Amino acid sequence: MDSVQNSADLEEERQEVVKQYLQTPAHLRSQYKYKRWLDAHDEYRTVQDASEYHGQYINILDDYHNKYSEEANTRRKRAIGIGVGEDNKGTCSLSIQTDPMLWHHIYKQEGQNKEKTRDEITAMISQHIKAINHIYANVKFNGKYKHRNIRFEVQRIKIDDDAPCQLTGQGETNKFCKANVDVSNFLNLHSQKKHDDFCLAYVFTFRDFTGGTLGLAWVASPSGASGGICEKYKTYTENLGGFRHSEKRSLNTGIITFLNYNSRVPPKVSQLTLAHEIGHNFGSPHDFPETCKPGGLQGNFIMFSSATSGDRLNNDKFSPCSVRNISLVLDAISEKRRTNCFTENNGAFCGNKIVEEGEECDCGFDEDECKEKCCYPLKISAADKLANPSAKECTRRNNTLCSPSEGPCCSRKDCTFVKGDMCHTATDCEESAFCEGDKATCPQPAAKEEYKECNQGTKVCTRGKCTGSICLAKGMKECFLTSDRVHDKKKLCEIACQVGNDTASCKSTSELPELFGGRPVFMRPGAPCNNFQGYCDVFQKCRAVDAEGPLARLKNLLFNQDTLNSVAEWITQYWYGVMLLGVTFVVVMGIFIKCCAVHTPSNNPRKPPARSITETLRRPVNTLRRVKRHRQGQNANSQAGPSPSQHHHHHHHNQPGPGPGPGPGPGPSRHRGAAEREPERPKPPGAKRSSRAYSDDPPPPYPGNPRHSVSPSNPGNSVTPARPAGPTRHGYGEGRGHYNRPK
């Protein structure tokens, strides 16, 4: 009874606040009075930004005026809907493609064995999907609705080998063959394809992107702007070389790389990178404000702008800010303001080459994809059905013990278990593993000794993984040197240790001679520094994290209609400024051309010889005087008649060219090149002489083939995706990189 009364009193108090607001003049109204009231009553607070408080306040006022309207009642009925994941419909289907660069790396690693390469890449994809399912399944996305049971299911795997890249004269068969493609254009290439059949489409690559970037993805928006999960293939407008161009794009895409600063990314880091980029697709920007990126001993959350080593408590969790942002997008899907492509969870998905619960094996979609004779694919051929009417998809064939899709310890030849073959190569922290002969999967490799140094002496082994700090071997904890105490950027990249949780004892390894011999131990390139506010480059200097990264570069290349309209309005309003800028530009260019004219060689005998830039820089006044004297001389000659040299030149028009014998030649005062011209050809009677000082022959062609004109370069792969409509913070997902890289 008391709770009912308190609720009624609270509602009455709220109505009184609204009434006071309406009675206050508009210019005296303040959002903060109502904000303070919301702060005191959490049950009415659903957002935290001050501007969003104001928006919520106005919505409540609208409800006050339209309490019994049809719209208000419709809105209340819609709020009783269900969230994404309810009724077992929370599965996001994935298309995963690997490019030739990743194939080339794994192919060399597996001894140039194509079958083992495909198995290893498929296993890598499977491990990453299991990891992100574990991360997202434990998150409670609570907005207007409760969104639960979000999971990911691979429905298509496309593994590109490097054979098309080695063909010559066959044209470009695979755009991903190009090695020198930056991260923005790489995502653009992937977005040019149609991916409407999937919730998200990703490419895995092995490229060392600029700035340590590990991934890039489109960001979803709750307002309905393009980009992110469930986005469809449609036309966008972009700016190319000043011209507007329409192109179709799929913005439900993203990419991640397994190479960073010429070293392979550890599995834990690449799994967190995939979770991070999918977080962008689900609507979360990088963590902000500071409360959502605490750093310190517990580390930062998944959506922190720079990658982490993955060994801190918060590294595989979403921050409250990210949960709220993703919940807003899922709310928009529940309210049908965004396309809903989530499907029902039917357990295992046969045909994706990943053996899931309930499947004996999974070799692919059909017999073309199924490269083995031990397992039935999803689409069973007529011949197989005739031979075995009881054949079922994703089950082993008769008289087989295993399938290579189950693991590396199954023979492709006779579908039996293999014994003694190496199925796992040794690493810094793990021993080699060998097939045991009784199962298809590889046994867990034995871990090497604890606290053994790895990653070139910057890390130690812990439980078979190269993730521990070198400080652990000395009984200490790793800490960061920060820029508020250390101003040397190179020193910020030195590993520092502290005693327990005593941050005051944090010292560089160079200041602990009894433990490290007085030598500094530097972090590896890409490692976070300055309390995760920067990363160490190849010169062992701490550089600030560029969270915008590729996003900023793309924004500079793309102009949407709103930007063009703003520019047009500015030109209309400040037309006099535009004219002034134009006149200034013309004057500056005229002065520039005049200054450069004296340094440009010419075959005109009436012009002075070109002056060297070095001479002008040394004696600029002499150059100006020389130009002035030459102009005065030209004016005097034009008034007094032809010069002697001109009379001499015209006197020999119809005579043969000078022979090798002695005769009058050009003196020192003559213009350079005047005596090297060929004599002019005789003119037919009545023909007019050209006003030029040259012969009437056409000028010599430019170097190269004069018959071919040079066309503007084809933009090709430099085409960048259009920026989606909507809030300016949405568009490309920010570049992700700069991590503490265990080997």
Q: What's the pLDDT at 609?
A: 77
Binding-site residues for Zn(2+), in ranges, read 276, 280, 286
User: Could you tell me if 493 and 527 are in contact, meaning their C-beta atoms sit under 8 angstroms apart?
Assistant: yes
Percent of the chain at pLDDT above 90?
42
pLDDT, tens digit (0-9, with 9 covering 90-100), for 95-125: 999 999 999 999 998 889 998 899 899 999 9
Rounded distance between C-alpha atoms, residue 743 and residue 140, angstroms: 34
Enter the pTM of the model. Answer: 0.63
- 477 alpha carbon, distance to own chain's centre: 34
- Report the largest interatomic distance among the alpha carbons of the chain, rounded to a whole angstrom: 129
User: Could you tell me if 636 and 606 are in contact, meaning their C-beta atoms sit under 8 angstroms apart?
Assistant: no
Cα–Cα separations (whole angstroms), residue 581 to 241, 424, 591: 22, 68, 15
Assess whether pLDDT exceeds 60 at residue 437: yes
**Phi, psi (5° rounding) for residue 143?**
-115, -125
Task: Give the mean model confidence (pLDDT) for residues 477-504.
Answer: 91
User: Could you tell me if 96 and 160 are in contact, meaning their C-beta atoms sit under 8 angstroms apart?
Assistant: no
Task: Tell me how long the chain is.
Answer: 743
* Residue 706 exposure: Cα atoms within 13 Å on the Cβ side: 6
Assess whether pLDDT exceeds 70 at residue 399: yes
Percent of the chain at pLDDT above 70?
68
Assess whether pLDDT exceeds 70 at residue 217: yes
User: Could you tell me if 524 and 307 are in contact, meaning their C-beta atoms sit under 8 angstroms apart?
Assistant: no
End-to-end CA distance of the chain: 63
Rounded distance between C-alpha atoms, residue 741 and residue 743, angstroms: 6
Looking only at the bridges linking them, the beta strands covering 91-98 and 200-205 are parallel
Rounded distance between C-alpha atoms, residue 556 and residue 573, angstroms: 24
The CA-CA-CA angle for residues 338, 320, 340, to 5°, reads 15
Q: Which of 398, 403, 431 is nearest to 418 (CA)?
A: 403
In 82-181, alpha helices (H):
100-109, 114-137
- 345 alpha carbon, distance to own chain's centre: 31
- The first and second tokens of residue 354, run together, are 């990943």
Rounded distance between C-alpha atoms, residue 234 and residue 246, angstroms: 10
Decide which of 721 and 197 is more confident. 197
Strand partners, 494: 522
pLDDT, tens digit (0-9, with 9 covering 90-100), for 280-300: 999 999 998 889 998 877 889
User: Could you tell me if 599 and 613 are in contact, meaning their C-beta atoms sit under 8 angstroms apart?
Assistant: yes
Q: What's the pLDDT at 593?
A: 82
Assess whether pLDDT exceeds 70 at residue 733: no
**Phi, psi (5° rounding) for residue 454?**
-150, 180
Q: What's the pLDDT at 624?
A: 62
Q: What's the pLDDT at 621?
A: 67
DSSP secondary structure of 9-22: HHHHHHHHHHHHHH
Q: Which of 114, 154, 236, 167 is nearest to 554 (CA)?
A: 236
Task: Give the mean model confidence (pLDDT) for residues 589-607.
Answer: 77
Rounded distance between C-alpha atoms, residue 543 and residue 492, angstroms: 10
Strand partners, 142: 146
Extract long-range pairs of 447-456: CB within 8 Å, 24+ residues apart: 452/428, 454/428, 454/429, 454/742, 454/743, 455/428, 455/524, 455/741, 455/742, 455/743, 456/524, 456/743
Residue 725 CB neighbours (<10 A): 18
- 58 CB contacts (<8 Å, ≥6 apart)? none
Among 264-268, 334-338, 634-638, name the one with the lowest average pLDDT. Answer: 634-638
Quick check: bond before 289 cis, omega within 30? yes
Task: Give the mean model confidence (pLDDT) for residues 358-381.
Answer: 91
When pLDDT is cut at 50, 70 and 90, the band that residue 178 belongs to is: confident
pLDDT, tens digit (0-9, with 9 covering 90-100), for 521-564: 999 888 888 888 888 888 889 988 765 555 455 545 444 555 55
Orientation angle between helical segments 2-23 and 50-65, nearest 10 degrees: 100
- The first and second tokens of residue 119, run together, are 């198995």
Decide which of 504 and 687 is more confident. 504
Rounded distance between C-alpha atoms, residue 437 and residue 416, angstroms: 9
DSSP state of 492: G
User: Could you tell me if 732 and 550 are in contact, meaning their C-beta atoms sit under 8 angstroms apart?
Assistant: yes
Among 132-146, 189-203, 216-230, 612-626, name the one with the lowest average pLDDT. Answer: 612-626
- 226 CB contacts (<8 Å, ≥6 apart)? 234, 236, 251, 724, 725, 726
Catalytic (active site) residue 277: yes
Given the residues 110, 231, 238, 277, select the one marked as catalytic. 277
User: Could you tell me if 84 and 230 are in contact, meaning their C-beta atoms sit under 8 angstroms apart?
Assistant: no
Assess whether pLDDT exceeds 90 at residue 450: yes
Burial of 417 by CB count in 10 Å (0-12 exposed, 13-18 middle, 19+ buried)?
Answer: middle
- 643 CB contacts (<8 Å, ≥6 apart)? 637
Rounded distance between C-alpha atoms, residue 604 and residue 507, angstroms: 73
User: Could you tell me if 283 and 225 are in contact, meaning their C-beta atoms sit under 8 angstroms apart?
Assistant: no
Q: Which of 255, 262, 129, 209 is nearest to 741 (CA)?
A: 262
In 468-536, alpha helices (H):
513-516
Give the DSSP H/E element, type plus range, for residue 467: strand 465-469
Residue 482 CB neighbours (<10 A): 15
Q: What's the pLDDT at 345?
A: 85
Decide which of 53 and 480 is more confident. 480
Give the chain's mean pLDDT: 76
pLDDT, tens digit (0-9, with 9 covering 90-100), for 303-313: 998 877 788 88
Rounded distance between C-alpha atoms, residue 218 and residue 230, angstroms: 11
Rounded distance between C-alpha atoms, residue 332 and residue 523, angstroms: 44
Orientation angle between helical segments 183-191 and 550-557, nearest 10 degrees: 70
- 344 CB contacts (<8 Å, ≥6 apart)? 87, 88, 89, 91
User: Could you tell me if 623 and 616 are in contact, meaning their C-beta atoms sit under 8 angstroms apart?
Assistant: yes
